Amino acid sequence: MNSTELAAAYGPLVRRIENEATVIGDRILRIDHFLNHRIEPAFILELGREMARRISASQPNVILTAEASGIAPALVVAQALNVPLVYAKKYSPQVESPFLSRIIPSPTKGGDIKLVLSQRYIAAGARVAIVDDFLANGRTAVALVEMAREAGAQVMAAGFIVEKCFMPGRALIDALAVPVATLAQVERLEDGRAIMRKS
């Protein structure tokens, strides 16, 4: 797939964001009533299968995400591709040695958090695809790419259910030469609404 196809608007998700999202100011988009706090199984299956279709050409043999909100979409993608899912721990980062870690800022939690990944689960030569719910600041995704590469893996693609195009995340991932797939792209938040990219 080319970059346009990887980022094509997925209509059912775009419509739900337009009709149901809660927008706070010009930065916060809440769709946690169906994506990452309260999860609708049928819809997350649909989204995960579509993401799997988009990244399947990169032939990943492991899906990598970060806890907690990335786990649901990443699990569905992993199941659709029949590959394992590995997630970096944030909240209780005790993992088996040797491990890889990064300190990243958390705009939602405030302050910094530590991402930790047991090197045992990302083998040298693995073909990794990153999957997460949102691409915004991009710092979690960059940390995952860096840790996978430090383990000797190749990062084949990064897939995000929703991208906030007005934030720097995509530029950071592009700078790492990782193809990006998204299902919905938010151009901006204004007047209590999400303005979506339609193409």
Predicted model pTM: 0.94
Average the pLDDT over each of 90-99, 167-176, 186-195 and give the range with the smallest value.
Answer: 90-99
Q: CATH number of the domain at 3-196, out of 3.40.50.150, 3.40.50.2020, 3.40.50.1370, 3.40.50.720? A: 3.40.50.2020
CA geometry: angle at 46 spanning 41 and 50, to 5°?
145
Residues 49 and 23: beta-carbon distance below 8 Å: no
Q: Could you read off the pLDDT of 24-75 as tens digits, one per residue?
A: 998 899 998 888 889 999 999 999 999 999 999 999 999 999 998 999 999 9
Q: Could you read off the pLDDT of 105-149 as tens digits, one per residue?
A: 876 667 888 899 998 999 999 999 999 999 999 999 999 999 999
